[in-house]
Structure 1
């Protein structure tokens, strides 16, 4: 099977990638820098991570990366990112196209794929406005309610899951000096999460907290000198959060933080309804931290009271965190159990086997 997997980068990750790939003069070197840093590894399929010769991977929104490939292949002029991606697929002789960035490359792009492509799948675990993904053979995701919304738009939608990165085994085998860590977005789409973070941030006087927040552009503008002159108060982070907020972390830096934390705090985005199990859950548990997350419907293996701790609305999150820290020896056992369970249920081998099974029925 000639597999082509396309992904995308967070704008806030680009500075780190540019630093890691500062001496990368080829497409392969820059691509490998992001793969070796494990950015988004929970979604990257096993053949790609293993370097299988029949598998091709790229970040189709990385202008530097894609134009390196275009120059190496002798493409004339300044081709668009879409034109480069199509040329890569044709050059590779792709049979299966798996796209992690389908809003950028929707049905209109699928219609342009070369004839060698026989199967098309995409991952989309969020509502996406008017994006048309009906041309894909299937939309994959792990939130049943969102999958149902895609079916309502005429898409075939199938249950699929992130996986635990095997590299996570290298992290979290020593002391955990950080009491509570959080890594995630902060924007108008994170209302419930923002309230929880504000409550937990108040523990900073007595506990070691690390909050690494990827603030939205509007939040960054609101907190700038110019933004403070504009009517943007509601988009600014509360002072109790802003005082302890750090820059976002990705890849191996994220693994290092989670491997140093007793508790990783998680909160669903407002758009996911009662479904739970975002990528952060897999990363936290895979690095051996105790996942403390909001109550809801979790996938198998993420069992409140057995492998994770959940909190209800209001002040319950604070109570759960304090109880976990005060009874850490007991909770450490729970975290270790969670690491073993998700490592088995959501291994890269099982993720790939599920992907192959889906291909047989699409």
Structure 2
């Protein structure tokens, strides 16, 4: 089975990648640096990490990476990104096209795929408006409510989960964890419930070490800039307590390192899938050995309240729950250990790859 996995990266991470790859001068060099940094590794299929010749991986939105490949394979440096991706697929003789960036490469792109491609599979775990994904043979993600929505539109959709990244194991072993509470994620006017939780938990900063690494929206950054304080943008600024514990965004191994320094990772859904839960932070927090404290809801198999994680109901209970846990370090550590054991066993890379092959065969 010859699989082509296409992914994409956040603009904020692209800036980090450019710094990591400042000396890279080829497609393979830049890609190797990206893979070693483990960004999005829970979604990357096992054979990619093992450099199997039967699988090809790229980030189709990384213009520098893609133009390296184009030049190295005889295409004009000015080729557009879609043409480069199609050429890569044809050159690889891909049989299964697996795309994690369908908003960029949607139905029109799928209809242009070369004849060697037998099945097209896409990952999409977020609301997509009126976007039509009907050209894909299969849509996968780990949110049942979103999958049901796809099925109601007549599209085939199946459950498929992220996996534990083995590189997390060395981070999970760390027992020196000076950070009491860590949160890493986005912050914007759309995250109203998240902002309430962050505000409540940040209030414990006088007694505990609380770190928030926030990727602020453009409007929030403007509101908090020198000129922004002169404009009527108060509702877009972070409250004082949140600003006091905030630091720069983290990605890749820097994220793993931060989690390995934390006793508790605070998590919160963004209400995109009803009561379904299972964002990437679940795998990252548990995989790197922290206890995840997250909002109540329906979690993936093995992620169970008071066994492998702890849940809260609202902002007040989030702060109260975290304080109680920090005052019971032995219980906290036992819960964290069980969470790490769960993701290592239930969500290992081998199981993910076997499940992918099963879904591809039946698509």
Using the size of structure 1 for normalisation, the TM-score is 0.98
Structure 2 Cα separation of the partners of residues 77 and 12 of structure 1: 25
Aligned counterparts of 1:151 and 1:25: Cα–Cα separation in 2:
44
- Partner of residue 276, structure 1: 277
Q: CA RMSD in A?
A: 1.1
Secondary structure of the 2:186 match is strand
Deviates more, 1:174-183 or 1:235-244: 235-244
Deviation, structure 1 residue 293: 0.2
1:64 paired to 2:80: no
* Cα offsets for 1:100-123 (capped at 9, x unmatched): 111111111100100000011111
How far apart are the structure 2 equivalents of 1:60 and 1:77? 15
Query: What's 1:250 paired with?
Result: 251
Equivalent residue for 2:317? 316
Partner of 2:234: 233
Match of 2:109 in 1: 109
Structure 1 equivalent of residue 300 of structure 2: 299
Residues 13 and 314 of structure 1: CA distance in aligned 2, closer, same or farther (over 3 Å): closer
Deviations along 1:175-195, whole A, 9 cap, x unmatched?
111101111111233211111
Q: Using the alignment, how far apart are the partners of 1:77 and 1:4 within structure 2?
A: 22
Q: Aligned with 2:6: secondary structure?
A: strand
Say whether the 8 Å CA contact 1:191–1:270 is kept in structure 2.
no
Q: Is the 8 A contact 1:201 1:240 kept in 2?
A: yes
Name segments (4+ residues, structure 1) moved above 6 Å.
none
Q: 1:184 matched to which residue of 2?
A: 185
Give the aligned partner of residue 126 of structure 1.
Answer: 126
1:14-33 matches, cutoff 5 A? 14-33=14-33
> Corresponding residue for 2:211?
210
Q: 3-state DSSP class of the match of 1:71?
A: helix
2:265–2:292 CA contact under 8 A, matched in 1: yes
The Cα of 1:228 is off from its aligned counterpart by 2.9
Unpaired runs of 5+ in structure 2?
A: none
What is the alpha-carbon distance in structure 2 between the residues aligned to residue 213 and residue 278 of structure 1? 16
Secondary structure of the residue aligned to 2:172 is: coil
Secondary structure (helix, strand or coil) at the match of 1:270 reads coil
Deviation of residue 50 (structure 1)?
0.9
Residue pair 1:172, 1:256 contacting (<8 A) in 2 also: no
* 1:14-47 CA-partner distances (Å, limit 9, x unpaired): 1211111111000111011110000100000001
2:331 maps to 330
Cα distance in 2 for residues equivalent to 1:44 and 1:75: 27
Q: Tell me the distance in 2 between the aligned counterparts of 1:73 and 1:210.
A: 46
Q: By how many angstroms is 1:209 displaced?
A: 1.1
1:6 corresponds in structure 2 to 6
Tell me if structure 2 keeps the 8 A contact 1:193–1:267.
yes
**Cα distance in 1, alignment partners of residues 225 and 232 from structure 2:** 12
Gaps of 5+ in 1: none
State the TM-score, normalizing by the size of structure 2: 0.97
| Deviation of 1:149 (Å) | 1.5
Distance of 2:291 and 2:329 partners within structure 1: 10
In the alignment, the residues of structure 2 paired with residue 197 and residue 11 of structure 1 have an alpha-carbon distance, to the nearest angstrom, of 24
Q: Which deviates more from structure 2 when the two are superposed, residues 183-192 or residues 136-145?
A: 183-192
Q: Aligned pair count? A: 362
Per the alignment, in what secondary structure is the counterpart of residue 166 of structure 1? coil
2-structure distance, mates of 1:21, 1:233: 38
Contact 2:172/2:287 (8 A) holds in 1: no
Conserved? CA contact 2:67–2:77, under 8 Å: no
Q: What is the rounded CA distance, in whole Å, between the counterparts of 1:227 and 1:277 in structure 2?
A: 35
Once the two structures are superposed, what CA deviation does each residue of 1:122-152 show, in whole Å capped at 9, x if it has no partner? 1111101122211111111111111112222
